[in-house]
Amino acid sequence: MLIKNFIELFKKRYNVEIDNINYEEINLTSSILDGDEDYNKTIEELYFDKTGKKIDKKLKYIELKINGSLGDADILTPRIKYFL
């Protein structure tokens, strides 16, 4: 799934505007810092771009940390299981 589709799905389902997505200690994407080209990549591609490594193929899912906003409130969601 492309990042832009993930962000749209999250907004539609939870009404949360995503500001950034992190996996482990890696900031995969940020609405403030990253360009539009990141929104046409998958989470796996962004992880490779940031680290030079692929996500372990043995993993069934990874846990993402998502910061965003819900109305005027800044929020940190519970960890999201993103199935590979």
Q: Which residue has the higher pLDDT, 28 or 35?
A: 28
Residue 20 contacts residue 30 (beta carbons within 8 Å): yes
Identify the CATH homologous superfamily for domain 3-83: Ubiquitin-activating enzyme E1, UFD domain (3.10.290.60)
Q: Which residue has the higher pLDDT, 32 or 81?
A: 81
pLDDT at 55 over 80: yes
- Residue 37: band (very low, low, confident or very high) from pLDDT cuts 50, 70, 90: confident
Query: To the nearest 10°, the Cα dihedral for 27, 28, 34, 38?
Result: 180
All structural domains of the chain with their residue ranges: 3-83
9: Cβ contacts below 8 Å, ≥ 6 apart: 1
pLDDT tens-digit series, residues 16-25: 999 999 999 9
pTM of the entire structure? 0.82
